[in-house]
Amino acid sequence: MSSHADSKPWTVPALAEAKRNGDKLVMLTAYDAGFARVLDANGVDLILIGDSLGMVVQGQDSTLPVTVADVVYHTTAVSRVLQRALLVADLPFGADATPERALDASLQLLRAGAEMVKIEGAGFKLDIIRHLVEREIPVCSHLGLTPQSVLRLGGYKVQGRGEAGELLRRQAREVAEAGASLLVLECVPTPLAAQVTAESSIPTIGIGAGPGCDGQVLVLHDFLGLDSGHRRPKFVKDFLAEGGSVAGAVRAYTDAVRAGTFPDAEHAYAS
Ligand code: KIV
């Protein structure tokens, strides 16, 4: 059960309040109005227009070819139907390479209906986060496995193991200090994600990061059990099989996240 009223639209300050109240945040990706309407009506708090659209909608091998125009197109479609969920849109690869580019891309996304933009990484991205936040653009950070780093990483692998855990904890502090309002942690060992969450002044949303985060996100196609043509990550669960319909799947997911029963150990990395 969440203390945020079912009919009340989510706002950025309400996310911080949810963390203070210990209410879990439920997030899914969506790319079109049809699915977004079902998610919004069945208790999803945050919808992400992820650059995962490159892989699950466009059939690309990675998220790297996705453009700002692509994200704007899907953001426009989804934003038309939302009544309650807060809409977050990804800054695709290269769109956050400089403060000027990031501001221009973010303004396009906000004009399309996004209420927050997501940025992968820390380092020089801290200046970008500050640049946007100072200009009243809410930012969601994304740390751990950042799919836009796939060429450098050489694949999609669990991040933060061993000594790299200290770096992740520092980056999490830095993005919050730079002004981010939300932090996605992807493919991070459960104990590390729980520690980052306990230390973090902003809500964390896990994907492959265990049950200790303040909320959870999944890619819509994974959550519906669709074959993406790529190796299925350990943290993915087919909620359509459990829920019996798209609306039933969304309710099964929101209930499980709020009750803390998803993700369980089978869908997380113990170390
Ligand atoms: O692009 C995306 O869908 C994402 C999620 C995996 C968090 O970034």
User: Which residue's CA is minimally distant from atom 1 of ligand 1?
Assistant: 50
Question: Among residues 134, 186, 199, 266, which one is catalytic?
Answer: 186
Domain assignment present for 6 = no
> What is the Å distance from ligand 1's center to 248 Cα?
22
Mutate to test the pocket of ligand 1, among 70, 117, 186, 235 (most ligand atoms within 8 A of CB): 186
Domain assignment present for 141 = yes
Instruction: Yes or no: say if 202 and 19 are a contact pair by the CB < 8 Å rule.
Output: yes
Give yes or no: 17 in active site: no
Is the CB–ligand 1 distance for residue 183 below 6 Å? no
Which structural domain range is residue 64 located in? 12-267
User: Which residue's CA is minimally distant from atom 5 of ligand 1?
Assistant: 50
> What is the Å distance from ligand 1's center to 268 Cα?
17
Q: What is the structure's pLDDT at 74?
A: 99
Is the CB–ligand 1 distance for residue 56 below 6 Å? no
Structure tokens at 191: 């104990």
In this prediction the pTM is: 0.97
Q: What is the DSSP letter of 232?
A: P
Is the CB–ligand 1 distance for residue 146 below 6 Å? no
Between CA 179 and CA 220 the distance in angstroms is 28
Domain assignment present for 1 = no
Q: What is the structure's pLDDT at 1?
A: 66
Is the CB–ligand 1 distance for residue 141 below 6 Å? no
CATH code at 118?
Answer: 3.20.20.60
Between CA 264 and CA 251 the distance in angstroms is 17
Mutate to test the pocket of ligand 1, among 56, 63, 120 (most ligand atoms within 8 A of CB): 63
Ligand 1 atom closest to Cα of residue 63: 1
For the chain, how many structural domains are there in total?
Answer: 1
Could you give the residue ranges of the DSSP H alpha helices within the chain?
Answer: 12-21, 33-41, 53-56, 68-79, 99-111, 125-134, 150-153, 164-178, 190-199, 220-223, 239-243, 246-259
Is the CB–ligand 1 distance for residue 115 below 6 Å? no
Domain assignment present for 3 = no
Q: What is the structure's pLDDT at 230?
A: 81
Strands 116-120 and 139-144: parallel
Q: pLDDT 10s per residue in the chain (271 long)?
A: 677 877 799 999 999 999 999 999 999 999 999 999 999 999 999 999 999 999 999 999 999 999 999 999 999 999 999 999 999 999 999 999 999 999 999 999 999 999 999 999 999 999 999 999 999 999 999 999 999 999 999 999 999 999 999 999 999 999 999 999 999 999 999 999 999 999 999 999 999 999 999 999 999 999 999 987 888 899 999 999 999 999 999 999 999 999 999 999 999 999 9
Between CA 6 and CA 155 the distance in angstroms is 39
Domain assignment present for 61 = yes
User: Which residue's CA is minimally distant from atom 3 of ligand 1?
Assistant: 50
Helices 33-41 and 68-79 sit at what angle, rounded to 10 degrees? 50
Q: What is the structure's pLDDT at 76?
A: 99
